[in-house]
Amino acid sequence: MYAMSALFNKSIEPSCAYCKFGSRINSTQVACLKKGVVSAGGHCRRFSYDVLRRVPARPLELKTQGLEEKDFTLE
């Protein structure tokens, strides 16, 4: 559920890396249909969010070292 809410969050900062008009060339450049070759971190007024182009941050790992069975029981 966390991953879905992160993808469809309305307060996502615009970026050419996940705009529907752009295609990644490499990690720092995007080929934009409207503006040509641009920086992946930039954006313009024609930005249109494409959920399939965005890779959300990975969730944090659960640290289980040092936990015992009693930590998972209700008393």
Element of type H or E holding 38: strand 36-39
Question: 22-24 and 36-39: which strand pairing?
Answer: unpaired
Mean pLDDT of 20-35: 91
Rounded Cα–Cα distance for residues 52 and 47 (Å): 15
pTM of the model: 0.58
Question: Out of 8-12, 15-19, 23-27, which region has the weakest mean confidence (pLDDT)?
Answer: 8-12
Which of 14, 75, 10, 5 shows the shortest CA–CA distance to 47? Answer: 14
Residue 1 has pLDDT above 50, yes or no: no
Would 10 be classed as within a structural domain? yes
Q: Can you give the residue range of the structural domain that contains 27?
A: 2-56
Contact predicate 14/43, CB 8 Å: yes
Percentage of the chain surpassing pLDDT 70?
87
Give me the percent of the chain exceeding a pLDDT of 90. Answer: 23
21 lies in some domain: yes
Is 13's pLDDT higher than 50? yes
Residue 30, domain member (yes or no)? yes
